[in-house]
Amino acid sequence: MLEIKSIKQTNSIIFELKGRIDGLSTPELEKSFEARLLEGARKFIIDFTSVSYISSMGLRVFLSVQKKLKKIGGEIVLASMPDNIKGVFDTSGFSSIFSIFLSVDEAIKILPANGIKQKIETFDFIGKEVKFIRPGGKKGNLNPIGSTAKLQCAEYDFPDVITVNATALKHGTGIAAPGDSFSEYSNLFGESAFISGSFFNLPASSKPVVDFILKNEATEETKLNFLYGFQFDGDYNYIIGFDEQEQFYNLNDLIELAHAVSGFNLCGIVVIAESAGIMGMNLKKSPVKSNQTTQTTQSSIFSRENFADWVDLPFEHTHFNHLNISVGVSSREKPGNDNTMNLFFGEELPFHFHSVLFEKGFLNKDLFSFEMELYRIMHEFNPLIVQHLLGESQFKSGLLGIIELEAN
C-alpha cells in the first residue's frame, strides 16, 4: 500500500510518499504525476522519507516521468532516501539519471535557481501577474498575399493564384495549397498557417487531413499557392508567459495582453498553448470558379443559405487539452475604412489568426525555450486540424511571442 500526498510550492510540487512502491501501487502514483502535469507543474520533488520498498516497476515510473518532464523543461528530483532505497537506485544505475538530495529543504533551495538566464519581468494584467522577457529583436514587416475580393462568391481562377517559394516565408496565414499543377491543387485550397518557416494546410474537402512541410524539408523547388493571406517576418521583441487561472484566457484576452505588455500598435503574435476549448472554422470547399453554384453567384458563400455548404463551424468548443500553435496579427484599433489594414483583417475585427491543433501533450512553459518548444511540437506531434481562430477560443496556459510590425 502506498499513501500519496502532494504539496504545491512556489516553484515545485512535493510528493510525500509512504509505504511500498510496487506493481500494485504504481498505477495510482502514475495518475498522481499525470494530474499534476496536466495542471502545469514542471518541477517534482519526491520525499522518500517514509518509503519502505521500491521494485523495478516503481523505478520505471520515475524514469518515465523524468523523460516527459525533461522534454518540457522540467525535472523530477529525489530527496530524503533511506539507505535501502538509495541502494536500489545505486545498484540499478538510476542514481546517475536523477538529482538526489539529502533533504527536501535542500532540493527546494536549489531548484528555483536553475535555468535563470536573464531578467524576468512581471506585469499586472486584469488582476493576474504575468511574466515576460525582452529578447530585443528587430521590427518586422507585414505584407499581404493576393486579395480577398473574390472570396465571397468563390470566383478565384488560375490567374488569381500567387505562388511563393516555401523557403521565403516565416510567419503568416492564408487560404493556400501546395503543388505544381492548378488542375491538381485547385480543389485543395484551405486554411493554412506557416510558423517559423514550417507550413501547415487543411485541404477543403469532406474528409480533410492536415498536410505539412517542415522548414528543414522545404527546398527552392517547394512551391506554395495562395488565393490570399499575409506574411510577416522580424524577431521576437517580447516573450510572455500565462498560467492557468480560475477562468481560462481566450484569444481576445491574449491579444489584449500582447498589446498591454508591448505597447505596440501592430503586432505579429505566435501563441504556444494548451487548449481549453477551441472555436474555429474552416472551408469545406475550395472557393474557386469550378465550385460555383447558382446560389453563390447571387449571394456570398457566408450567407445564411450557403454557409453550411461551404464552412465547417462547430457550435461548441472543441479540442480540449491539446497542444496548439496559433499565428496571426493584431491591431490596437479597428481597421474601419483603411484599405491597407482591410487586406489583413476585414472591416470589423482588428485581428486575424489561424491555429494548428496537435495531439495532446505537455508544454514547456520556460520563457527562454520559446523557439525550441515551437520546433519540438512541430517535429514530435501530429497536426490534427488547421482552422481560422475565433476570439472565443480558450487556453489554459502557454507562451506568446510578440513581434512589432510595420504594414507594407
Sequence-separated (6 or more) residues with CB below 8 Å from residue 167: 197, 218, 219, 220, 222
Sequence-separated (6 or more) residues with CB below 8 Å from residue 171: 194, 195, 196, 231, 232, 233, 268, 270, 327, 403
Q: pLDDT value at position 290? A: 93
Q: Which three cell numbers stand for residue 28?
A: 495510482
Query: Which H, E and C letters describe 21-86, residue by residue?
Result: ECCCCHHHHHHHHHHHHHCCCCEEEEEEEEEEEECHHHHHHHHHHHHHHHHCCCEEEEECCCHHHH
**CA gap 336, 345 in Å, rounded:** 10
How many CB atoms are closer than 10 A to CB 155? 15
Amino acid (1-letter code) at residue 6:
S
How many CB atoms are closer than 10 A to CB 302? 11
Sequence-separated (6 or more) residues with CB below 8 Å from residue 141: 232, 233, 234, 405, 406, 408
| Nearest 10 degrees: Cα torsion 372, 318, 27, 69 | 10
What does the DSSP 8-state code read for residue 139? P
Instruction: Compute CA distances 357 → 153, 273, 388, whole Å.
Output: 29, 10, 11
**Max CA-CA distance within the chain?**
81
Q: pLDDT value at position 116? A: 44
Sequence-separated (6 or more) residues with CB below 8 Å from residue 322: 274, 275, 278, 357, 358, 359, 360, 384
**CA gap 39, 231 in Å, rounded:** 34
Q: pLDDT value at position 219? A: 86
Q: Which three cell numbers stand for residue 90?
A: 545505486
Q: pLDDT value at position 112? A: 52
**CA gap 183, 188 in Å, rounded:** 10
Return per-residue pLDDT of the chain as tens, 408 residues: 899 999 987 678 999 999 999 999 999 999 999 998 888 888 899 999 999 999 999 999 999 999 999 888 888 999 999 999 999 999 998 988 888 988 898 888 766 544 445 689 999 998 888 999 999 888 999 999 999 989 999 999 999 999 999 999 999 999 999 999 999 999 999 999 999 999 999 999 888 999 999 988 888 889 999 999 999 999 999 999 998 777 899 999 999 999 999 999 999 999 999 999 999 999 999 999 999 887 777 788 999 889 999 999 998 999 999 999 999 999 987 765 655 666 666 656 789 999 999 999 999 888 988 998 999 999 989 999 999 999 999 999 999 999 999 988
Q: Which three cell numbers stand for residue 38?
A: 496536466
Exposure of 84 by Cβ count < 10 A (0-12 exposed, 13-18 middle, 19+ buried)?
exposed
pLDDT, tens only, 273-323: 999 999 999 999 999 999 988 777 778 899 988 999 999 999 899 999 999
Q: Are 367 and 242 in contact (CB under 8 A)?
A: no
Instruction: Compute CA distances 368 → 32, 115, 131, 374, whole Å.
Output: 28, 9, 12, 12
pTM: 0.82
Q: pLDDT value at position 136? A: 82
**CA gap 376, 385 in Å, rounded:** 18
b/e string for 238-260 if b means 16 or more Cβ within 10 A?
bbbbbebeeebbbbebbbbbbbe
What one-character-per-residue DSSP string does 168-207 give?
A: G--EEEEEEEE-S-HHHHTT--EEEEEETTEEEE--SSSS
Q: Which three cell numbers stand for residue 71?
A: 522534454
